[in-house]
Structure 1
Amino acid sequence: MKVVVQVSEKEKINQAVKSVMNLINDLGEELEEVEVVFHQSAITATIDEGIIKPLLEKKINVIACRNSLISQGINESSLVKGVKIVNSGVGEVVRRQKEGWIYLRL
């Protein structure tokens, strides 16, 4: 299974990360790949090592939306090392769904 997780609200970042960790702990071996796409106000998570590092340590792909970085005034050089950038977070989610990934919005 491949799972793409969309996180767009700053207020939901911590709970979304907990839910992703629960997913990994529960399904572990069944998961081929997990990708968490941060955009809109949740883009701030991508500059917080305390939030992002546990995801990266579990081999989860952490994705930042460039459009959201620009709209929030966040410089790409501020991102936690290992975070990947895509032009559009919603575009990334749609691409992954088209490829057959399971979609979660947290």
Structure 2
Amino acid sequence: MNENPTPGSGLVVHGTGPAPEAWLPAAMRTALNAAADLGEGAAVEIVVQGPAVALLTAAQGPAAQLEDLRAAGIAILACGNSLRSAGIDEGDLAAGVGTVPAAVGHLARRQWDGWAYMRI
């Protein structure tokens, strides 16, 4: 369809739960597919919550996939509360991974602003 979104809207993909080795790559592929289909000007974010934030560190991060996301203009964001629970400093995150203080608050604000929500 490729219609332009309403200004200020976008898609937020929420990743959480067990087996992050399976769902994180799926969330990344889904976000890339969504960005391609929604077209230029559509904002897309992936918010990672829970123990999966460890997969976003420079030591474990999927560098090639993160580069693909950045090239497509997709933001990947780690939950600050989850980082703290996992004992991970923001500086340990792979290049290009941002943070939000709390995934739950960020997700709520995005939805209040009219963004679409998808959980993987």
TM over 0.5: yes
Identify which of 28, 31, 38 aligns with 1:27. 38
3-state SS in 2 of match to 1:62: strand
Matches within 5 A, 1:2-41: 2-9=10-17, 10=20, 11-29=22-40, 31-41=41-51
Given that 2:31 and 2:74 are in contact with CA atoms closer than 8 Å, whether structure 1 keeps it comes out as: no
Say how many residue pairs are matched. 105
Contact 2:35 2:42 (C-alpha < 8 Å) held by counterparts: no
The residue identity in structure 2 corresponding to 1:75 is D
Contact 1:65 1:89 survives alignment (8 Å): yes
- Name the structure 2 match of 1:43: 53
Q: State TM-score, norm by structure 1.
A: 0.87
Give the equivalent residue in structure 2 for 1:66: 80
Structure 2 residue aligned with 1:102? 116
Q: Does 1:76 align with 2:90?
A: yes
Mark the runs of 5 or more structure 1 residues left unpaired by the alignment: none
Give the TM-score, by structure 2 length. 0.78
Give the 4+ runs in structure 1 shifted more than 3 A: none
* Superposition deviation, residue 50 in structure 1: 3.3
CA contact (8 A) 1:6 1:38 kept: yes
Superposed CA RMSD: 1.5
Higher share of residues assigned helix: 1
Q: Which runs of 5+ in 2 are unaligned?
A: none
Look at both structures and tell me which one has the larger radius of gyration over its CA atoms: 2
Identity between Structure 1 and Structure 2 (%) = 34
Aligned equivalents of 1:44 and 1:23: distance in 2?
A: 25
Contact 1:7 1:13 (C-alpha < 8 Å) held by counterparts: yes
